[in-house]
Amino acid sequence: MNLRKFVQRRRRDAEVTEEIELHLSQEVEENVARGMSNEEARRQAYLKFGSSRRVREELWQQNTLALFENLWRDLKHAVRTLGRTPGFTVVAVLVMALGIGANTALFTVVRSVLLKPLPYKDPNRLVALCECMKGRVCDDNRGGIAAGSFAEWRKASKSFEQMALGQQWTSYNVSAEGGQLPERVPAGLISWNMFSTLGVQPALGRDFTADDDRQGANGTVMLSWGFWKRRFGGNASIVGKEVFLDAKPYTVIGVMPVWFAYPEAQTQVWAPVYHEMPPRVTRSFDNHQFDVVARLKPDATMAQALSELDAVQKQIKRDNPGPAVKEGVNGTLLLDNMVVDYKTPLYTLLAATGCVLLIACLNVANLLVARSATRRKETAIRAALGGNRWRLIREQITESLVLAAVGGAAGLALAYAGIAWLRVARNDLARAETIHVDGIVVLFVAGITFASGLLAGMIPAFNGGARILENLQESSRSHSGGQNQTRLRKGLLAAEVGLTVVLLVTAGLLLKSYRTLLYTDMGCATDNVLTMQLRLPEARYKEPMQKVAFFEQLIGRVRALPGVETAGLVTVAPGQGWGGDNLVAVVEHPPLPPGKSLDAMERAADPGYFAAMQIPIVRGRTFTDSERLDHAYVMILSQAAVKRFFPDGEDPIGKHLRMGITRQPFEIIGIAGDTRYSISEPMRPMMYWPLWGGVNSGVTILVRSTHDVESLALPVQKSIGGLDRDLPVSDVMTMQQMIGKSIVDASFDSTLTLAFAVIALVLAAVGLYGVLAYLTTQRRSEIGIRIALGAQRSEVLRMMLVNGLAPAWVGLGLGLLSGGFAVRLIRDMLYGVKPLDWSVFAGVALMLLLVSVIACAVPAWRASRLDPMEALRTE
């Protein structure tokens, strides 16, 4: 009702005006009828009525909602004042937009990736389990569970409703069919109850049953939505049909919903794990390649459930005291487990954007303080004339709120673009597919916009508005003014500089560790090396001889290709990841005490691999072509492995290693240089056996050339196609690309933080410049007098510089101090750099001082060039 009146008050005013006019004219008519002259009649009528304007105003007031009215008036006032200084307004809005935009984008990512519950049924009862070597501390966050243990847990556990097994390291060749190319797709091997444990139903077809999930069952496979659309054109009749995976027939039983992404976003097909994996793996207690997802019963607690399993695992360890059998169980919520790698980096970036926004607010506050200083006289006069103090404060805050609101709108657009870019740039991020702007994000924008506007407006508004007399006196004498404002501005600036230093230090450390990563010695050739992977399907290449024959033919053809300098084959190339490890014992040594074990990563390579990849053979020799099949029990150790296995410095050549108990021992024939399995991890012991042994069916082909190695990809693929038409290759990329991909997050984190730090630095420099420029104008006449009295210009320059740089010094000190604490939080993200790296700190300090000096030099120089006559005349 009131609101309607408020909205319609203009129309109502017109009505009242008309009413009053009618009233007056009737009065006039009556007066005329009484015999007055026209003039007199009109005069009397108006006299009697009184002020019609007052009546209208009164009614207007009656129809008004005070809140709206004031708000509207303040808004108009703010827009008008801002419009008067477009330069200031544009700068302030841009600053706000950057701060709010960056925050919004990061908040959206953090919310989608870290905070939003998983899209499964009751996701806070889903637990990811892990096995622990000692006590109950899992060394990394991968599951690392043996399927044998899983079976025992499932039998014994009373607190879990369901438990499901998964494995994400498998991929399948999908055969060429219907004119389509063969391709290699990442697969999830899961126990039949995985989907029901998660609480997900297939979008099409049926779920796995216990009957599918055993040795000897018919092959069954579930497709991902994306794969189904892409490869089978979204044709629903594919359900029930057969497809060939690794040259074996599988019946398609269904298609998962479009949003379903487990264990990874890239997973394209799912197959039952007990059908795919041989019993020796699924019954083992020391083959740790599985993940377990379990659903807690509604009345069970996680701690209780985990300690239950821990007891079971301790019993397993007592019954099977093998060195690789783990002795404890722990677990985390499934969500925490999935995002654990992204937590620190994302929160770090969010903190960085928070700093940027805070700096932006301080900067806008600073600009507003400067402006309120120039408007001090106006404010003082208005206050002296009885202007409501609250009203004056409100006007200032409204002004900064208007700035923030425009900035917030622009920031939202910025964030939108940023998120779109980020989804493409970081599609490796867990749950990247869920990142998007929604209602909560818009609310967040509104919230931080309001908070920023309030913060930026409060600081200047509450600063010295009350001392009317003082201000009026002050402004009448221009040279003594502004002490108060200046102190406030310097304080704000010191805070800004401090935050900037923290950001710069963080960015510097991340950048340095990124560069360290980038120039890490992989231990092998990385320039002009092309890699691609392929796997021979067991169904078609059953015999070791078949595999060896294929590989030998392949490498022969590749080496003969024009442009190829050398080529090699290895199961897992440097930088490609863990790729399997094994426990070994030195035959010539006494047995190790229980609980101790030797462990090394395992690789199979062809004889030419070491030469092709320029991995030095420091002692002994490489494999020969005759060391094949039954004669392949020879081994090359990496230097780190030698150090681990033969700590006393004996000569390993000619000694023997045993893997497992049954297999024939391997003779050590050579020592190779160390290589890294992952660029960000330290070198680990590694052992190689001949690929010609015929055990391995998956290999990486490495091709080296003098230049333009990428152009060799097609010829190599053609050679493979010439040997087997159905064999797809995957992950075709250069070694540099592969390394770049594995450090994409380091590059991403450091680049973004650096960008934020640079923004902060620019803002701080602008702030420094602004304050000193303002000070210079304030002290014009004082400086003029000084110069007139004979002060040296260099002296003036020095004085102004010292004055202007004071906040920079204070801020730098504060920043370095708090930076020293802040970097502890990002220790996990650093590689090869200590958190308190003195060169980074020193570099930051130097850069900040340099920028500050430049920012202050201009106004200081201008002050020293002042013409005293002119300066004093403007007094």
Partner 1 sequence: MGRDKPTDKNGEMLQGTLDMLVLRTLVMGDAHGHTIAKVIERTSEDVLEVEQGSLYPALHRLEDRGWVSSYWGASENNRKAKFYRLTASGKKQLVAETSRWRQMARAIGLVMGEGLAVQAKTPSAQKQEVPE
Nearer to partner 1, 49 or 72 (CB): 49
Interior/surface letters 76-111, b for 16+ CB within 10 angstroms, e for the rest: eebeebbeeeeebbebbbebbbbbbbbbbbbbbbbb
Residue 33 near partner 1 by CB under 8 A? no
66 near partner 1, judged by CB under 8 A: yes
Comparing CB distances to partner 1, the nearer of 20 and 847 is 20
Is residue 599 within 8 Å of residue 637, measured between CB atoms? no
Amino acid in the structure at residue 305: A
Least distance from partner 1 to the Cβ atom of residue 11, Å = 13
Residues 6 or more apart in contact with residue 249 via CB below 8 angstroms: 219, 242, 243
Q: Which amino acid is at 379?
A: T
CB of 26 to partner 1, least distance (A): 4
Least distance to partner 1, CB of residue 15, Å: 7
Closest to 792 measured CA to CA, from 710, 743, 863, 849 = 863
The only residue of 8, 25, 483, 711 in contact with partner 1, by rule CB under 8 A: 25
Nearest to 829 by CA among 751, 754, 750, 760: 750
Rule CB under 8 A: is residue 386 a binding residue for partner 1?
Answer: no
Q: Should residue 26 be labelled a site residue for partner 1 when binding is judged by CB under 8 A?
A: yes
Q: DSSP code of 712?
A: G
Minimum gap (Å) between residue 19 Cβ and partner 1: 5
Q: What are the DSSP calls for 156-194, one per residue?
A: H-SSEEEEEEEEEEEEEEEPP-TTPPPEEEEEEEE-TTH
Comparing CB distances to partner 1, the nearer of 27 and 745 is: 27
Candidates 58-66, 372-380, 542-550, 720-728 — which segment interacts with partner 1 by CB under 8 A? 58-66
Q: Which is nearer to partner 1, 70 or 484 (CB)?
A: 70
Q: Assign 3-class secondary structure to 331-377.
A: EEEHHHHHHHHHHHHHHHHHHHHHHHHHHHHHHHHHHHHHHHHHCHH
Structure tokens at 410: 């622009």
Q: Does 20 bind partner 1 (CB under 8 A)?
A: yes
CB atoms closer than 10 angstroms to residue 404: 30
DSSP H or E segment with residue 830? none
Q: List the one residue out of 775, 771, 774, 843 whose CA is nearest residue 812.
A: 843
> Residue 564: helix, strand or coil by DSSP?
coil
Asked whether the beta carbons of 185 and 174 are under 8 A apart, the reply is yes
Q: Does 389 bind partner 1 (CB under 8 A)?
A: no
Nearest to 244 by CA among 191, 182, 168, 169: 182
Is 8 near partner 1 (CB under 8 A)?
Answer: no
> Does 624 contact partner 1 by CB under 8 A?
no
Tokens 């003029």, residue? 784
Q: Which of 18, 211, 438, 782 binds partner 1 (CB under 8 A)?
A: 18
Q: Is 539 in the site for partner 1 (CB under 8 A)?
A: no
Among 33, 35, 39, 54, indicate the residue that binds partner 1 (CB under 8 A).
54
Distances in whole angstroms, Cα of residue 699 to Cα of each of 529, 537, 570, 578, 634: 15, 12, 6, 14, 19
Q: Does 34 bind partner 1 (CB under 8 A)?
A: no
User: Who contacts 37 (Cβ-Cβ below 8 Å, separation ≥6)?
Assistant: none
Binder among 33, 39, 50, 385 for partner 1 (CB under 8 A): 50
User: Which of these ranges, 62-70, 242-250, 680-688, 749-757, lies near partner 1 under the rule CB under 8 A?
Assistant: 62-70
**Binding segment toward partner 1, per CB under 8 A, in 15-23, 170-178, 623-631, 675-683:** 15-23
Cα-Cα end-to-end distance for the chain: 58
Query: Least distance (Å) from partner 1 to the CB of residue 52?
Result: 8
Nearest to 587 by CA among 636, 630, 641, 645: 645
Q: State yes or no: residue 16 binds partner 1 (CB under 8 A).
A: yes
Q: Which stretch binds partner 1 (CB under 8 A): 61-69, 474-482, 595-603, 783-791?
A: 61-69
Instruction: With H, G, I as helix, E, B as strand and everything else as coil, classify residue 728.
Output: coil
Q: By CB under 8 A, which span of 42-50, 186-194, 696-704, 712-720 interacts with partner 1? A: 42-50
Both structure tokens of 181: 């190319």
Residue with Cβ nearer partner 1 (22 or 137): 22
Please state, in angstroms and rounded to a whole number, the distance separating the CA atoms of residues 635 and 640: 14
Shortest distance, CB of residue 13 to partner 1, whole angstroms? 11
CA 404/CA 391 separation, integer angstroms: 20
Give which of 448, 420, 449 is closest to 435, Cα–Cα: 420
Kindly state the smallest distance separating residue 393's Cβ from partner 1, in Å: 17
Total residues in contact with partner 1, by rule CB under 8 A: 28
3-state secondary structure of 567: strand
Interface with partner 1, residue 301, by CB under 8 A: no
Q: Least separation, in Å, of the C-beta of 381 and partner 1?
A: 22
Of 218 and 388, nearer to partner 1 (C-beta) is 388
Minimum distance between the CB of residue 56 and partner 1, rounded to whole angstroms?
Answer: 9
Binding of partner 1 by 515 (CB under 8 A): no
CA nearest to 501, candidates 847, 251, 746, 219: 847
Tell which one of 7, 8, 34, 49 touches partner 1 (CB under 8 A).
49
Q: Which residue, 29 or 470, has its beta carbon nearer to partner 1? A: 29
In the bound complex, what is the minimum distance in angstroms from residue 38's beta carbon to partner 1?
17
Asked if 645 and 652 count as a contact pair (C-beta separation under 8 A), the reply is yes
- 189 beta partners: 167, 271
The least CB distance from residue 75 to partner 1, in Å, is 17
d(CA 634, CA 689): 6
Instruction: State which of residues 34, 38, 58, 139 lies at the interface with partner 1 (CB under 8 A).
Output: 58
Q: Which of 14, 29, 798, 870 binds partner 1 (CB under 8 A)?
A: 29
Q: Which of 8, 37, 38, 51 binds partner 1 (CB under 8 A)?
A: 51
Is 13 one of the binding residues for partner 1 (CB under 8 A)? no
How far apart are the C-alpha atoms of 400 and 404, rounded to whole Å? 6
Residue 10 or 824 having the CB closest to partner 1: 10
Q: Which segment (51-59, 456-464, 512-520, 711-719) binds partner 1 by CB under 8 A?
A: 51-59
* Phi–psi pair at 559, nearest 5 degrees: -65, -25
Q: How far is the CB of 79 from partner 1 (least distance, A)?
A: 22
- Which residue in 8, 14, 19, 438 binds partner 1 (CB under 8 A)? 19
Q: How far is the CB of 458 from partner 1 (least distance, A)?
A: 24
- What part of residues 69-108 is at the interface with partner 1 (CB under 8 A)? 69-70
Q: Which stretch binds partner 1 (CB under 8 A): 48-56, 599-607, 725-733, 849-857?
A: 48-56
Nearest to 273 by CA among 188, 180, 393, 334: 188
Counting contacts by CB under 8 A, is residue 61 touching partner 1? Answer: yes
Q: Applying CB under 8 A, which part among 65-73, 263-271, 663-671, 850-858 lies near partner 1? A: 65-73
Among 38, 62, 476, 839, binds partner 1 (CB under 8 A): 62
Shortest distance, position 119 Cβ to partner 1, whole Å: 52
Which residues contribute to the site for partner 1 (CB under 8 A)? 5, 12, 15-16, 18-20, 22-23, 25-27, 29, 48-52, 54-55, 58-59, 61-62, 64, 66, 69-70
